Copies of this chain bind each other. A is one copy, B any other.
Amino acid sequence: MDIKGFQFSAIEAAIKKPGRKDLALIFSETPATTVAVFTLNAVKAAPVLISMERIKGGKSQALLVNSGNANACTGTQGMNAARITSQMVAEGLGIPDETVQVSSTGVIGVQMPLERIKASIPALIEGLSSGTLDDIAQAIMTTDTFPKMEARSGVADGTSYCVAGVAKGAGMIMPNMATMLSFIITDAAVEPVFLDKAFRRAVDTSFNAITVDGDMSTNDTCLIMANAMAGNPLITEGTPEAIAFESLLSEVLLSLARQIVRDGEGATKFVQIRVNGAKNNADAKRAAMAIANSSLVKTAFFGQDANWGRIFAAVGYSGAEVDPSKLSLHFDDVCMAKNGVFSGGDAEQLGSAVLKNKEFSVVVDCGLGSGTATIYTSDLSHDYVSINADYRT
């Protein structure tokens, strides 16, 4: 991957158990236009509170991230830990404090091992000369079973640029752990207001369109840094270059989001939930989210059971406008129900066969309007319970 002007480093600071990197740094050689979206949870981790403040400046040059400790529900001591460590990074790099973004993922309610992190920062900075983005993807993992990375390259006015990103698990993947994090970098020059809009739209149809267990974390952060080192003319809204850039950005985010669902806790299925014909898009998303978050629907997926009634029940309580006599349902191309009732014949047999696949789609049509939404989710398995209940054993 040829992405200009970014450096990477990751080391083992003994925040997690021995043998795994847990402290990482992304550095941009020039100040990068930076926008981000953060968790809507009222209980926000210290690094989220600090990054929310710093992001207002519009530029950043470094991102310090650790796994193994969420630095959430840690009060003033947690705020100080985030400030002290990011200050050390700023001094080491010779950049202003407020251009260092901070992020954490891991156990909630435990104070950060401040001395161990401080002791590791010089080596972390030194490592920038030799690190790769893959090191970052590795270092932010908790119970993720594989690192999540994606990259695309594009051309703007004859100049090549790259959009790349890393992510770690959604749905509070780790027992005691609480975070979906994703960091995107690009060397393209992008006009800040357009970057913000395009990024939010891309997040909405990727990270905001997945759910593993419906639990919203205290640390969710998705951030993009655009450092303009590719040398392209500034990409501005309403141009073909803007459309191409946003399309690349969406592809990267959607790929990362899908990787997170695939690596969902205990997941054995990857399910695309599509709702069509809702009164509007908001209703469609409500219905799709209700299906995707229903424990009964998710256990039926795990059991490979064509239990379509549970899906209509979830649509019914979703809050979306529903006319039961107009609902229809497909598993892939098998029509399970139409006009609100079972479609008969060998639908149950054919539907169960679809659910035996690792990956399939559930399509509900509300028959009311043109609202649509797509949500990606996993099933609810024995392993989900084991991972979350027995993590100490």
Contacts and interface: CB of A to CB of B under 8 A. Distances in A.
Q: Which 8 pairs show the lowest CB-CB distances between chains A and B? A: A108-B309, A43-B316, A303-B389, A299-B388, A42-B322, A216-B317, A41-B316, A109-B309
B176 A312 contact: no
A152 to B, nearest CB: 32
A209 to B, nearest CB: 17
B342 A109 contact: yes
20 contacts: A42-B315, A42-B317, A42-B321, A43-B315, A43-B327, A72-B313, A75-B339, A108-B310, A109-B309, A109-B312, A109-B341, A175-B307, A176-B307, A178-B309, A214-B295, A215-B313, A216-B317, A295-B388, A299-B384, A305-B389
A44 interface: yes
A81 interface: no
A109 B213 CA distance: 26
Given A75-B339, A215-B296, A300-B388, 13 more contacts: A41-B316, A42-B317, A43-B315, A43-B327, A73-B324, A73-B342, A74-B341, A108-B313, A172-B296, A175-B296, A218-B313, A299-B384, A381-B385
A392 interface: yes
A217 interface: yes
A75 B389 contact: no
Chain A interface mostly helix, strand, loop or mixed? loop
A100 interface: no
Contacts of A70: 309
A302 interface: yes
Nearest to A41: B316
Contact of A305 (B73, B339, B380, B392): B392
Interface string A162-183: 0000000000100110100000
Interface size class of A (residues with CB under 8 A): 35 or more
A141 interface: no
A324 B42 contact: yes
A233 interface: no
A294 interface: yes
Interface of A: 40-44, 70, 72-75, 77, 107-110, 172, 175-176, 178, 213-218, 294-296, 299-300, 302-303, 305, 307-310, 312-317, 320-322, 324-325, 327, 337, 339-342, 380-382, 384-386, 388-392
A73 B322 CA distance: 13
A310 B388 CA distance: 11
A194 B250 CA distance: 58
